[in-house]
Structure formats: C-alpha cells, structure tokens
Amino acid sequence: MKTNNLIILLVVLLIGVSCNRPILKGSPEIKLNPENFQKTVDGKSTDLFFLKNGNTAAAITNYGGRIVSLLTPDKTGEYADVVLGFGSIDGYLNAKEVFHGALIGRVGNRIAKGEFELQGKIYTLPLNNGVNHLHGGPKGFHNVVWDLKMKTDSSVTLTYLSKDGEMGYPGNLAVTVQYTLTTSNALRIDYKATTDKATPVNLTNHAFFNLAGEASGTINDHLLTINADYYTPVDSTLIPYGKNESVEGTPFDFRKRKPIGQDLHFQKTNEQLNNGLGYDHNFVLNKESRGEMTWAASVYEPVSGRKMEVFTKEPGLQFYGGNFMDGADVGKYGRSFDYRESLALETQHFPDSPNQALFPSIILNPGEEYNTSTIYKFSVE
C-alpha cells in the first residue's frame, strides 16, 4: 500500500513539473544568411558561426566578436530572438550604436579625459565619448576582426592580438574569448588574456537584450533584480566621483524585483538618474571573496515568462537602460531600435578604475593571466 502511494506521489510530482515546462514548438533555427557576413574588413575575413545546444541557439560573428542572435523559448514554447543585432556585416559597419553585441576592450567603460598613469608614465587615449575614452576607443575590440581558433556545435573560440600602442595602451595583449551554449540553456563567456607589459584590462560583452524579442517594445516593464547593496555615483560625463554609495532609499535599489521603469519618474529630481539620462551606472556586486562566480542579476519579462539570470566572477555590473537608442538603427527583422527598448547588463570592473585608487585594480602584469567568466542563463516562469 505504501509503495502504491509513493508511486502515485511521484507521478503527481512529475505531472506538476511537466506542466511548468513549455511545450516547445520545433527547434530553434536562426534564419540568417552567412554570405551577408562574409566580408573583408581591414584585410581580414569576417564570417558568421552558428551554435546550438538544448533549447537555445546563437549566432556569433568574428567582426567585433559579436553576439548577432540568441534564440530562447517563452512559456508557451515559442522562440524569440532576445538580442539586438543586424543581418549583415554592413549593418554593423553603418550602425549609429557601435557596440551591438560586441566584445569590449581593452578597457570597458570610461576613462576620464582619456588619460591614466601607470608605473610613472602618463598614457593618452583617443576620446570617443565627449571628453572621455569609452570601451577601448574608436578602434576598440568591437571594431576589429577576431581570429577563429576553434568551433564546435555549441561553442566558438576567438582570439585577438592587441599590439603594443594600439589605442594608446601599453603592451602586446593576447586575448582569447570562448562563447559556449550549455546544456542548461545558458550562454557562457570565458575571457583570458596575457601581456608582455603592465596594462589595464577590463573585458566585457555589450549585448542589448529584450526578453520579449528584438524590437518588441519597452523594457521598462521587465522586472529586474540586482544583487548589489552599493552603486557608483557619477558626474555629468558619467565618470565616478570616487566612492560607492548605498542603494538604500534610492531609485538604484534593485535588491527586490521591480519594474525597470518604476522609479524613472524621479529623473528630473534625482541627480544620478539625470546624469545618466536614466540608468547607466555600475553596481557593486555582493561577494564574499574576490573572483568567485556568483549570481549578479535577474531579468523577467512577465508576458513571455522569459527569465534571464546573470552570473559572473566580476565585481561590478553596468546596468544600461537603452537611454540613447533613438530609432536610427534598424535590426535584422526590419524593425527600429527605439528609446528604452533594450537593456545591457555588462559584467566588469568599475568605471575609470585606472584613475580611482579605491576601486579594484584592473592592471595586468607580465607573467599573470587575466581570467574571468560570465553566464547568461535562460528559463521561464
């Protein structure tokens, strides 16, 4: 009798679990023409690489090491492309927003006035964001052709040698980045780098997400959680004042899930929202030890039921709410990228770190290996 009850209980549990899973409608198929990505840029060949694993599919181009497409199902089993991108290399070359889906380096985020001092020498970098240097400069890693090292059904490994003096940075920096679709419906990004001279390094990815699908309306109704008790206030040029402040009692408190747009009405009266034209700030992730892989953030889109969780070894997360999108760019499905219809969650060290003594160092020395990872995991609820 007890055995029969146990069997019944197991059946009920299995039925309950299956009811919470989407009934998938086919398999994820990315409909992009590889020929549109086969071009010569700066004397090197570009291409498009397709990945698939489980219920997730992705397309990566070696031009800027970009995520072009990422398909994942909603709660009904319908697939949508949740990353903004273009249908050709020309689309990226002509885009107003230059960082779509790209690998960012040598230093992600801003460096004040394009200058930093290292080992007694002042280095000057090109300015490409008003009075500041942003995301490695105009010829940062987003605007170079990476070399293909290895390709499997579920992963692609890209390499790039950033030569001594490139964009003003010291040292020959050898970088390897691997994109992997895991069996748990996650996109994992592993970064490694070595140098022959001391140099700042802060690598990240700049994918723009909309969990309802590319160009499918506002992200202000997405529900966001960020595992951070502190954030980094910035001046009007988005350079940190030099210290982190508590999120308690501010629009930057995302410790409990809330709609992204809930507190944006404070933009006129809140200095930080005004400086960023909304959210464009670093969050100091809660960690017990440096470099550990921990949960950083979650985003949930209530209509589709899609959920994205971010895990990282990095100490910071730059949350950007699509404030500068203006419809000038048209994506791979023929729809424009409009104001606050996408978000970025860039895992990284803090802005302007080379000039901020109280921030974690981003200096990589000869004999050391830069090694970090970030995971974007997808599910439904």
Please tell me which residue in 222, 301, 346, 349 is annotated as part of the active site.
346
Tens digits of residue pLDDT in 33-74 = 999 999 999 999 999 999 999 999 999 999 999 999 999 999
pLDDT of residue 21: 60
List beta partners, residue 10: none
What does pLDDT average to over the chain?
Answer: 94
In the chain the first and final C-alpha atoms are separated, in Å, by 36
- The answer to whether position 348 is within a domain reads yes
- The answer to whether position 320 is within a domain reads yes
- The answer to whether position 143 is within a domain reads yes
Domain extent at residue 160: 29-381
Tell me: pLDDT of 8 over 50: no
Reported as a pLDDT band with limits 50, 70 and 90, residue 280 is: very high
Please tell me which residue in 206, 222, 281, 349 is annotated as part of the active site.
206
Average pLDDT of 203-210? 98
Query: Which distant-in-sequence residues (6+ apart) come within 8 Å of 251 by Cβ?
Result: 263, 264, 266, 270, 272, 273
Measure the CA–CA gap between 118 and 110, rounded to whole angstroms: 17
- The answer to whether position 14 is within a domain reads no
Q: Is 206 a catalytic residue?
A: yes
Q: How many domains does the chain have?
A: 1
> Are the C-beta atoms of 83 and 208 separated by less than 8 Å?
yes
Residue 195: which CATH number?
2.70.98.10
Tens digits of residue pLDDT in 143-195 = 999 999 999 999 999 999 999 999 999 999 999 999 999 999 999 999 999 99
- The answer to whether position 12 is within a domain reads no
